[in-house]
Chains A and B, each alone.
Chain A
Amino acid sequence: MTHRFLSHASLTALVAELVAAKTRVIAPVRAQDDPEQVDYRPIQKLEDVALGVRLTRGSLKEFFLPPTEVLLYYKQTKEGVDIREVPTEAPPQVILGSTPCDAAALEVVDKVMGWDYRDELWFGRRAASTIVSLLCTAMDSTCFCTATGLSPDSFRGSDALLVPVEDGYLAHVITPKGEALLQKYAEADECMKASAEVAQGEARQKVEKNLAAIPPEFSAWLAANFDNPIWKTIALRCHGCGACAGVCPTCHCFDIVDEHDTADEGVRRRNWDSCQTSKFTLHASGHNPRQSQSERFRQRIQHKFSIYPSRFAEILCTGCGRCTRACPGGMDLPKLLDELMTLAKSEATGSEPKGSSL
């Protein structure tokens, strides 16, 4: 890990070179429907980018696991069935200015994508991507990356991390990919490190206020409290709409469907899905083990904060806060986690838990 200095002019030139070489460059840009909001979109030049303005509404997920993608084409012929799989190599792409929580999410999801079956489409895009994150300074009250073990200056999942300093950025070069991308344009750092460290420290402090670190025992407590009555009331306001899963950088469930216009040819696709929808666990027999939203919401918390950790030693959440921002029903994940962790702690110490404000 080294650190260097990247001037604004150099970054502009780097982006121009990438675009000219037909590399897709994705960065935060002001949203068309609401210029106060920011989304990750492909860009043509650095001036299009809105760095460090605000947290993006969506995550990087769509650039690695698209909302819908074709897996294979099939065609019935007289000889049998022709199947053509899609290529797993992806064209190169550079993500510029992602938040550290979004970059880290990719590494967290890598665990399940490489678990019992290697998802070549996911890893193809991972291999083709270089991720340059930016120190996050636009956190708000729903952020809690520090509670999940990350931070606004986390290196996890990034190939390089930029920290705004005078006239440009301190570039932490983290991986060989990061080195390869920046070597032509980054200069030796001359004493920017100190001011970067100040900025990084300030950012961390801002987020730490929002939620205490999730203790390692929390996963086991959740597993032991699967039948706790609190689940019946914790999600009454949840519509089961699945908007949270859509914007979440770590939610990765998908459905597989075959679609065809004629009887003898079509495509097999995978589409984003969410455990919050009523039919997610509907069996062919008609039985649904998760019949009400309280059970489905319990599943969301259990999967992210207990099941995934017990399997992969990772919390399936990076504290980005998008679920809370997107929720039309007013669900508030950091508040909810705080209540659950307090309940867990009071049970451990034997003290009386205060009445739930959920």
Chain B
Amino acid sequence: MKELQDLARKLLDEGTVKVVIGYEEGARGVRPAFITDAKQAGKLIFDKRCVQNLAAYLNPRRKQVAQLGTPAVVVKGCDARAVAGLIREKQIERDKVVIIAVRCGGVLENSETDSELTSETVSVRCGGCDVREPKLHDYLLGELPPAPPVNNRRVEQIAALEKLSTAERWNFWTEQLSRCIRCHACREACPMCFCVQCTAEKTQPQWIDPSATPRANRAWQTMRVLHQAGRCVDCLECERACPEHIPLGLLARYVADSVERRFDYKACEDPAVAAPMGAYKTDDDEEFIR
């Protein structure tokens, strides 16, 4: 992507940024790149294998990245929403990051292969994307590709779960969460999990047992997804990071749908728009309240 490489080179040469966080070719597919030397800008690429949400590296807890200096970050529209979230929640300042947005036509579910984008191979989060031309940017690159195919797998899974009885759903989640080893990779990979001390690490009092028991695992995953309500951008980094392949994306999607249904809010690219859980309307639904 020459446009991207030239821009990166320019920004580094001018000293506007000290590092360009983008994507490069790795030995096993695309991987995040940290270009600090303008001469290496030719490594930057952008294609349908660029799944990772690079906004995670703007998280101030990433000291080793922050130490490099002012970053530029390559984002797709969905990733830009995470950058907006970090700005909204005062984790980074808008003028301290250069946002290089790229027009995107969808990414692959499995970025290690290089298949065609079809309804089978495309990521579940791409269907119906309304940010193919990201609005939050300092630079906007690339041609607008056609809309991505729709992969209904996750919607179907959620619908199937909703049809089950309460007890069957309980058993489903107990079984899925029994594999959780409490490594917290889901938390570490998530761009919006920036808390220096996570609620799960609190010991006085200890709200969530740290051990990988079915009971504690359920408490952990419930809390994490609740803390993401209205903030999660559905990048699925949590699911990709999970070494036990727990379908965390189902929980993320369900809560995001609940937030949208109840509060007419989807994670958005405008940092000025207040996130729903820190706001209210006097006429919010209270059907469920006696």
Contact = CB atoms under 8 A, between A and B. Distances in A.
Contacts of B240: 328
A257 B211 contact: yes
Interface string B226-248: 00000000000100111111010
A211 to B, nearest CB: 11
B61 interface: yes
B11 to A, nearest CB: 18
B131 interface: no
Contacts of B30: 330
Interface in B30-75: 30-34, 36, 40, 52, 56-57, 61-65, 67-68
Interface residues of A, number: 47
Given A243-B183, A277-B184, A329 B243 contact: no
Contact of B212 (A235, A272, A325): A272
Interface string A312-354: 0000000000001110111010110000000000000000000
A149 interface: no
A257 B210 contact: yes
A31 B245 contact: yes
A278 B31 CA distance: 22
A243 B212 contact: no
A132 to B, nearest CB: 25
B182 A271 contact: yes
A94 B27 CA distance: 36
Interface in A277-334: 277-279, 291-294, 324-326, 328-330, 332, 334
A23 B191 CA distance: 45
B234 to A, nearest CB: 16
Contact of A34 (B184, B241, B243, B245): B245
Contact of B64 (A33, A235, A243, A332): A235
A278 B61 contact: yes
B283 to A, nearest CB: 41
B259 interface: no
Given A33-B247, A58-B243, A293-B62, A245 B52 contact: no
Interface string B212-231: 11000000000000000000
Contacts of B29: 330
Interface in B149-185: 181-185
A202 interface: no
B23 to A, nearest CB: 9
Given A236-B64, A271-B210, A241 B31 contact: no
Contacts, number: 121
A246 interface: yes
B26 A332 contact: yes
B245 A33 contact: yes
Contacts of A329: 31-32, 52, 189
Contacts of B188: 239-242, 277
A307 B171 CA distance: 44
A259 interface: yes
B6 interface: no
Contacts of B257: none
A68 interface: yes
A141 interface: yes
B52 A269 contact: no
A237 interface: yes
Contact of A241 (B36, B57, B67, B241): B241
Interface in B66-104: 67-68
A239 B185 contact: yes
A325 B29 CA distance: 11
A89 interface: no
Nearest to A31: B245
A59 B63 CA distance: 31
Contacts of B186: 241
A292 B184 CA distance: 17
A337 to B, nearest CB: 12
Contacts of B68: 236
B28 interface: yes
B213 A242 contact: no
Q: Which of A233, A239, A246 has the most CB of B within 10 A?
A: A239
A200 interface: no
A245 B182 CA distance: 12
A274 interface: yes
Contacts of A247: 243
A166 B44 CA distance: 49
A292 B61 CA distance: 8
Interface in B239-266: 240-245, 247
A236 B65 contact: yes
Given A330-B26, A332-B28, A243 B211 contact: no
Contacts of B181: 67, 246, 272
B63 A291 contact: yes
A209 interface: no
Given A239-B241, A259-B211, A330-B30, 10 more contacts: A34-B245, A67-B212, A141-B27, A232-B64, A233-B36, A236-B68, A243-B241, A243-B242, A324-B28, A332-B31
Interface of A: 31, 33-34, 37, 57-58, 67-68, 141-142, 232-233, 235-237, 239-243, 245-247, 255, 257, 259, 269, 271-272, 274, 277-279, 291-294, 324-326, 328-330, 332, 334-335, 355
Interface of B: 26-34, 36, 40, 52, 56-57, 61-65, 67-68, 181-189, 201, 209-213, 237, 240-245, 247
20 contacts: A34-B245, A67-B212, A68-B211, A237-B31, A237-B33, A241-B185, A241-B241, A245-B183, A246-B185, A247-B243, A257-B210, A257-B211, A271-B212, A272-B183, A277-B184, A278-B61, A328-B237, A330-B28, A332-B26, A332-B27
